[in-house]
Amino acid sequence: MFSDKQKPRTMSEIGGQPNRIEKNTKIKGDIISEADFRIDGKLDGNVKTSGKVVIGKDGYIHGKVECVNADIEGSFNGELLVSDLLSLKSSAVIEGTVSVSKLAVEPGATFNASCTMGGGKAGASNSGGFKPSMNTKNEPAKAS
């Protein structure tokens, strides 16, 4: 009855059932949720969730998205802040700014965005003391 062992929590205990915007549905406004979110329709606004955001093949978001993980098959235009893994499928089209911890891109995906990596926080600094070279000529970089 009283155990120190933690059992896996269900989705309803974490934040409820996953949310879904179906194909042929347009929404204008902001969405805040603790559960996962799948968009197969169109959203003009912002999404903030402590779960995962999935943009289906026919889905489109124009706005700002803040989430833990994201899988994108459709289109996104705006600011994307992913604190863990962003996975771009081959049909994905991304434009805007992206801040992410980990990035996976399938061949064929369109990624026209400025990208910052480092825990999903914009402006995160490089770790390990590595300084990128500003060498613009076609010659080997020199160690400093």
- Arithmetic mean of pLDDT over the chain: 81
User: In the chain, which residue ranges form alpha helices assigned H by DSSP?
Assistant: 11-14
Residue 32 three-state SS: strand
Between β-strands 31-33 and 69-72, what pairing exists: parallel, antiparallel or unpaired? unpaired
Residue 13 three-state SS: helix
Contact 91, 97 (CB under 8 A): no
Pair of tokens at residue 28: 């204008």
| Cut 0.75: pTM above it | no
pLDDT digits (tens, 9 = 90+) for 40-95: 999 999 999 999 999 999 999 999 999 999 999 999 999 999 999 999 999 999 99
Note the residue count of the chain. Answer: 144
